[in-house]
Amino acid sequence: MVTRSRFRFVILALAPALCLVASTLRAQQSGKVRGRVVDAVSGQPLQSVTVTVVGAELSARTDDDGRYLIEAVPPGLVKVNAQIIGYHPITTPYYNVFPDSATSVNFKLAPLTVQLDPVEVIGERPEEEFKFGATVITSDRLPARGNVLTSLKGTVAGVDVTGRNEGTRVTIRGSHASALFVVDGVVITPPLTFYIDTRDVECVEVRRGYRAAQEFKPSIHGETYSGVILIWTKGSLGRKPPGCKST
């Protein structure tokens, strides 16, 4: 006959094994959620983004490559949320998580635009102004002949040019989006349908970043660009950046 004290001893001895079995069963019955978070404009990975399984108190942060992994997710329909300061948060529709498998959930977060109160500045406007983050290339720094767009590669940091003639594509800072072009004040959206020889160019201004295209918004409709390339041909009229004056 097993005494009560001996019975308690047996239960206590088996407790760790029982806990291990229960933990193993839960792990086998749970799933995983993994994926990648990138910037919706540049396509670059976003690190330190908090990704959460809604209602389950399970979360993880993205690594340097924008990847995350959430384990021990209960099977069934779940929503996943991704958020970080400076971007619009996203909560997904329902995803079905299956036991002992990984469900892929990727995010593209759009940068958050902060609306500031208007400020009135009174004073004289300078004759010319230079855009922050822009690079101006004058004719003496361009090759004597050739496509002006092709000549920008290797001349302006961060500018990449692929293709030839009408198939030329220009991107800035490794973005997947093309650049917007303004020739003598006329906005030309990709794909390119023009060829300008460097011998006819007075200067070129390269403005980096998708916000640079906002100035030309009346001429574009919802497109996203990696920057703006302004080209002034010799003898053209209109305001030009410093160092780019008609001769």
Q: Model confidence over 209-232: pLDDT tens digits?
A: 777 777 777 666 667 787 888 888
CATH class of segment(s) 134-233: mainly beta
Tokens linked to 61: 């942060």
Residue indicated by tokens 């079905």: 96
Q: How far apart are CA 181 and CA 164, in angstroms?
A: 16
> In percent, how much of the chain has pLDDT > 70?
71
Most confident of 92-96, 220-224, 235-239: 92-96
- Of residues 56, 45, 155, the one with CA closest to residue 106: 45
Delimiting residues of CATH 2.60.40.1120 domain(s) in the chain: 30-109
**Which residues lie across from 240 on neighbouring strands?**
none
State the average pLDDT over residues 73-77. Answer: 94
Question: What's the length of the chain?
Answer: 247
Residue type at 190?
P
From 3.40.190.10, 1.20.120.1730, 2.60.40.1120, 3.40.640.10, which CATH number describes the 30-109 domain? 2.60.40.1120
Delimit the CATH 2.170.130.10 region(s) of the chain: 134-233
What pLDDT is stored for residue 103 in this prediction?
A: 95
Answer for the pair 185, 154: CB distance below 8 angstroms, yes or no. no
Give the strand pairing for 102-104 and 31-39.
parallel
Q: Which of 130, 156, 162, 158 is nearest to 141 (CA)?
A: 156
Our separate counts of H helices and E strands in the chain read 2, 17
Q: What is the pLDDT of residues 121-167, one digit of tens each?
A: 454 433 333 444 678 888 888 888 888 887 887 777 778 777 665 56
